[in-house]
A and B are shown apart, each in its own frame.
Chain A
Amino acid sequence: MKLKETIFVMIIVGILSLVSNFVGYQNGILESMPGMLILILISIAGVLLSKVIPIKIPSVAYIVLIGCIVTYPSFPGASVLSAYISKVSFLSLTTPILAYAGISIGKDLDAFAKTGWRIIVVSIFVFVGTYISSAIIAEIILRSLGQI
């Protein structure tokens, strides 16, 4: 997708998220605007970096990294940026995404119905298996390091 199109979709999602943030989390649209703009700028910077740097790393990796750096406690102005961004509830960003996902899942539903119940049962065990094993390992390490 071209950069212009990506930015266009980001702005639409940004507006939808501001609405979600206002209706669901009572953060005024104007007061959360700066935080949203910062997020859009971080995203654009990440997309640009992934285009400029020749090593093949997906743009999301850069975006998360930039987000991390600019809010790292000793980064200049980090506390100001964090204060603006905190006005944008992270859950408000998820509502529009899953609305798009819901609409697009329609095309998977026939495949889902055809999958058969055995794969569905296996899926559930797969989800539970990975979740609980990861949690147990994390728990053991965190406890042995005295971090919880």
Chain B
Amino acid sequence: MKNWKVHGIVLILVIIAELIGAIKFKLGPGTVVLLPMIYALIIGIFLTPRFLKVVNQKDMKDAGGLITVTLILLMARYGTLIGPTLPQIIKSSPALILQELGNLGTILLGVPIAVFLGLKRETIGAAHSVAREPNIALIGDVYGLDGAEGRGVMGVYICGTVIGTVFYGIMAGYASALLPIHPYSLAMASGVGSASMMTAAVGSLSAMFPDKASMIQAYGAASNMLSGLDGLYISLWLALPFTEWMYRKMYRIKYGELPPVKEGQQ
């Protein structure tokens, strides 16, 4: 809490990151927008014991414990982004609600790839969702986190934490340049239940469409909220059964037989 070294380092990171400022450049067909938060993240990673050793284990632990609280002000700001546009948001609520089912697209793409790469039950944890905090809790509850399913969900969760923010920022820019999809639809898709991934995606989109920025931000924030509310239930009732079914189909295609039934599983 009162680890002033961490707060001081963050202050320096913030100043450096903001002095660099947003950088926009063309890379192939898409525009990549690098936002100050990305530099803050990356410089922060380089200060850890693996690299520059500026921070120690305790600092990392303290910083980790603060993240939930640091997000609070951003959440308040999201609320105030949504508020003024609420009439428009309500009008678009059918699109906002139904796009949540897009999470199932994860399974269509993720399960075949995972099985093809030779993963077994890890597939269930890894490919059933984008694996944010509620999904870890869910997999832990249904299968336990120490088994293969748990390894899968933790793997994707850690990838999301380490590369997800940068990846979402770049993906949003590319999707908008390459696909005939409106920035509002891409904004709605950005909310996967992770504030930083959503902000990176929405940040890229708003930098590309400054005149639509306020609606883009509001749609992103609203859809992220919605994912936080319904994500767990979609995962539990739709995504997990569908993942299990898809896994059996894919397993049979690859190995010519059904996967062995695990002990203690109904």
Contact = CB atoms under 8 A, between A and B. Distances in A.
Interface of A: 1, 5-6, 8-10, 12-14, 16-17, 19-20, 23-25, 36, 39-40, 42-43, 46-47, 59-61, 63-73, 75, 78, 81-82, 85, 88, 90-112, 115-116, 118-139, 141-143, 145, 147-148
Contacts of A102: 13, 40-45, 47
Chain A contact residues: helix, strand, loop or mixed: helix
Nearest to A127: B167
Contacts of B118: 118
Interface stretch (B23-31, B101-109, B256-264): B101-109
B69 A99 contact: no
B99 A130 contact: no
Interface of B: 1, 6-7, 9-11, 13-15, 17-19, 21, 35-38, 40-45, 47-50, 55, 57, 59-61, 63-64, 66-67, 69-84, 86-87, 91-92, 94-96, 98-110, 113-114, 117-119, 122-123, 126-127, 129-131, 152, 154-156, 158-165, 167-168, 171-172, 175, 179, 181-182, 184-186, 188-190, 192, 195-196, 199, 201, 203, 217, 221, 223, 225, 228-229
A136 B102 CA distance: 8
Contact of B181 (A106, A126, A136): A136
Contacts of A82: 80, 83-84
6 contacts: A60-B228, A82-B83, A97-B71, A100-B67, A102-B41, A131-B171
B14 A134 contact: no
B153 to A, nearest CB: 10
Nearest to A17: B73
B189 A132 contact: yes
Contacts of B179: 132, 135
A118 to B, nearest CB: 5
A112 B160 CA distance: 10
Contacts of A81: 80
Contacts of B59: 103
A107 B110 contact: no
A139 B162 CA distance: 29
A135 B188 contact: yes
